[in-house]
Chains A and B, each alone.
Chain A
């Protein structure tokens, strides 16, 4: 939150200074501006700000010379114009324009002082900074900010700029670290000395410098345990960077007996509840240590005290987790199935018990469609997993650590003797939860993930609760993204319509689902696969039911689009499509085949090449060898170019015209199962 506010304040400040002509020529925002933030402060430093706006001279055109001057003497019109512009009549000139002679004057708008502009305009920019949650604190005022403003420092060179915001007016007094500094205000001398002066008061204002200090300290402290390393966790490093002003790192340990608890639980307690980094052995096994980032410099005297406190807190947390874990074991998951009747999934869609039954049925149907049979696949494991998948919602551990749902179910299932395949499927059921997450490890797990999500999506759509605009309260888009990814990457022989159809939606719901999923496939191709907008449109045109196939086509088209021939052919295809559209061509009618094209010397080469491509496609061992087929698309360029150079498609002779249209149609058709090439943007 602070990070985005820091970036926004910098952006707004530069935009303001730019708009107000207070930045010098050649100003480079990357090198000449810098921003800082800590949990207690936001700062922007801009170099070379002009002291005042340049004067603006402007030519103002007035009334026509004829009206302004009568017999060479200024008339009332001239006097009025001069008065309006604050000049003497003698300053008026006559200029010649295409419309005739007019009176004009050059006026000078004197630039305002930078401090005046900043004092009057910057408060609006500060007020406009976006915060997820704002507060009021001034009685009788609607002024909001993230927290009450404590002080403002605004300096232009050595001078204070009296910026007022949130009931405070800027001076040069600032404060250092809450505990390490004296606590007394100190004066910032110049903008350039800001960072160094703060450092003297135990505040590292620069975010990247703090991040670097934390990473180095984590490395250094971790080295005191032979063979150990800290688990990389960028998000936690970031969080601690924004929670500290003077960070240091502490190594703590816990009783190795706790390592009996699932690692997932221990890591969640440490990372999510205590902001600790987990430590692992060289072999990647969790070690009984943790690293805590402090907001105080640690020395021999205080390190022991702070460590002891943190260790005691962690011990209490682990004890709680153990209590819940042991308590949960008294009621195995199988006995929890009936408890799900009391857990509502959605008011109109019933309990989680009902949902589990539906998902089980969906799993069965999808497994049959996919031809998943023993011994290659363990269908019973899928069905068991479907029945037990949600039972962990009734466990104490999941109530305490909701982020571990699914994972706890999987771990308990394994411990309670449910098959390995089923346990893994339960464990993986919520994967992928985000774009960088992995998909379920097994085909069985993938199937469960599909069934669970399509049940939710189809159920919500049937109640009219589909996402609209920015509103997606049930995270259905995320669920659909996961469906698309699993289909694309799991290798399960299932199409999108298999999955949608399994939920047996009503026709009008099915239509909505189709366009909803089309958007998700587009999103997947663009965001996950990095495909360009036009390529996505082109490859989706022939269909996208098989996600892996549309991905393969998109990748082949993207690879080919670098070639000049391919782009030329795409442009030619666009032309062909336009010609066919303009001719109102409906497709070949019987008896108007393009066989005679072979007799016409101008048409024959293209006709032959097109036929050869058809033959080639059949001869390819795998007709999905899109790369090779696209090479042959590109190879028809000479024939296409020659055809258009020599032939007028819309020949007056209807037979010739039809034949030529037929030929173009055939050429397009031969490649239309890969993409609609006319969608490819070729210009530029």
Chain B
């Protein structure tokens, strides 16, 4: 490779995080639930909704049970790591900024072939789509760039730019490794190399076995149904809470500034939409496990995906509405404060 001292896997992560931190991003920790991609973390899926700008970056371990290969395939993983960057709204020439990040991790652009190939992204279960590019580096897809257009079936305004780096692929590329498991993760105090395999192989072996051989499909179906039921119940409650909340405001209760009103605002603010989202994510992951286990027929598949779509899109709609209501309440609170101050 062009670089004689390529970054280790963890240095790669540090460097990209530092790069985006220096470009004004909030650095967030990985989301602590099973997700199939960084997009599904609420730091992307929910934050792209509504008008509030945000720049945020986080590594996200992404679980795809069906992609597991018991650690025997050098290029496929049950769980890989994405570095997700959300820029809302995206800067004008985001591609140049992205190329700078490649330089930061030691890629000499003039020594490589980089192409931006048109690639439009779609996640029907999340009612989400966008347009963008896949970035090809010497024939390897290393990043996906998307201008988010819709999420939860709603037009986004402003839109968000999403950069998803495939960290294992980039590390393989930097270190010129044929197998993911040979990637140097780090060096210990004595300078000895610890590989990706040293750190993660046993996870791949055990989780592949779980997904393909051990997972109890009857129990998984039960889990799915339970998570779904609780999520639905919350969404139904949201309809009542937000329905009343908006009515109360429309009736002019705001002007009176009664105590009941404040409680309503607090109820809206504290309504656990994010809890509902976690339940929906649980459903999604359970579905993936069932799928890997071969427990979902093609006919059933469409139906179950429709159920999960209803949850996820439902959460997005509630979250957007909650954001609107909360913003109005704090706006009016601000007005009152200024009146008092005067």
Chain A interface (Cβ < 8 Å from any Cβ of B): 1, 39, 133-137, 139-140, 146-148, 150, 178-180, 183, 243-244, 250, 274-276, 292, 294-296, 301-302, 305-306, 308-310, 312-316, 319-320, 323, 342-344, 347
Contact = CB atoms under 8 A, between A and B. Distances in A.
A47 B149 CA distance: 39
Interface string B85-102: 000011011011001000
Nearest 4 A-B pairs (CB), nearest first? Answer: A309-B138, A310-B139, A294-B113, A139-B158
Interface stretch (B73-81, B240-248, B259-267): B73-81
Contacts of B1: 305, 308
Contact of B149 (A135, A183, A275, A315): A135
Given A137-B90, A342-B298, 17 more contacts: A39-B116, A133-B120, A135-B130, A135-B149, A139-B159, A140-B157, A147-B131, A178-B95, A244-B115, A295-B113, A305-B1, A305-B112, A308-B1, A313-B138, A314-B139, A316-B178, A323-B73
Given A308-B176, A343-B298, A137 B115 contact: no
A344 B298 contact: yes
B51 to A, nearest CB: 8
Given A316-B74, A344-B298, A179 B109 contact: yes
B178 A344 contact: no
10 contacts: A1-B118, A39-B116, A135-B147, A146-B131, A150-B92, A150-B93, A295-B113, A305-B1, A316-B178, A320-B73
Nearest to B141: A313
Contacts of A39: 116
Contacts of A275: 139
B145 to A, nearest CB: 10
Nearest to B179: A316
Contacts of A305: 1-2, 111-112, 138
Contact of B176 (A139, A301, A312): A312
Interface string B9-21: 0000000000000
B114 A347 contact: no
B216 interface: no
Given A274-B139, A347-B299, A306 B147 contact: no
B131 A309 contact: no
Given A139-B157, A320-B73, A320-B75, A309 B299 contact: no
A182 B117 CA distance: 22
Interface in B121-140: 130-131, 137-140
A305 B99 CA distance: 18
Given A178-B99, A292-B139, A308-B176, A139 B110 contact: no
Most chain A Cβ neighbours within 10 Å, of B76, B115, B157: B115
A243 B92 contact: no
A296 B116 CA distance: 13
Contacts of B75: 316, 319-320
B297 interface: yes
Nearest to B299: A344
B173 interface: yes
Nearest to B110: A179
A180 B315 CA distance: 47
B111 A302 contact: yes
Given A140-B157, A305-B1, A179 B114 contact: yes
A306 B157 contact: no
Contacts of A296: 110, 112-114
Contacts of A148: 90, 92, 147
A12 B113 CA distance: 35
Contacts of B95: 178
Given A178-B95, A306-B138, A323-B73, A135 B131 contact: yes
Contacts of B157: 136, 139-140
Contacts of A179: 99, 109-110, 114
Contacts of B131: 133-135, 146-147
A302 B112 contact: yes
B110 A302 contact: yes
Contacts of A147: 131, 147
Contacts, number: 114
A288 to B, nearest CB: 16
Contacts of A343: 298
Nearest to B296: A342
Contacts of A314: 139
Nearest to A342: B297
B73 A309 contact: no
A314 B139 CA distance: 8
Most chain A Cβ neighbours within 10 Å, of B76, B112, B139, B140: B139
B149 to A, nearest CB: 6
A139 B110 CA distance: 35
B52 to A, nearest CB: 12
A146 B149 CA distance: 12
A302 B155 CA distance: 44
B138 A310 contact: yes
Contacts of B137: 309
Contacts of A294: 113
Nearest to A168: B92
Nearest to A393: B298
A406 B221 CA distance: 35
Most chain A Cβ neighbours within 10 Å, of B110, B113, B114, B178: B113
Contacts of B89: 137, 139
Nearest to A296: B113
B104 to A, nearest CB: 15
Nearest to A240: B115
B140 A243 contact: no
A243 B119 CA distance: 12
A320 B116 contact: no
Contacts of A310: 113, 138-139
B298 A315 contact: no
A310 B172 CA distance: 12
A347 B302 CA distance: 11
A135 B117 CA distance: 16
Contacts of A320: 73, 75-76
Nearest to A324: B73
Contacts of A183: 96
A295 B147 CA distance: 23
B139 A136 contact: no
Contacts of A136: 149, 155, 157, 159
A144 to B, nearest CB: 10
A323 B120 CA distance: 29
A244 B2 CA distance: 23
A241 to B, nearest CB: 13
A322 B150 CA distance: 39
A137 B147 contact: yes
A295 B116 CA distance: 10
A283 B182 CA distance: 40
A407 B116 CA distance: 31
A672 B90 CA distance: 71
Given A137-B90, A178-B95, A306 B159 contact: no
A504 B4 CA distance: 71
Nearest to B177: A312
A295 B111 contact: no
Contacts of A134: 131
Interface string B285-303: 0000000000001110000
A243 B112 contact: no
A316 B155 CA distance: 39
Contacts of A140: 157
Contacts of B113: 250, 292, 294-296, 306, 309-310
Contacts of B172: 312
A305 B96 CA distance: 22
Contacts of B130: 135
A94 to B, nearest CB: 63
Contacts of B173: 309, 312
A319 B69 CA distance: 13
Contacts of A150: 92-93
A306 B299 contact: no
Interface in B169-200: 172-173, 176, 178
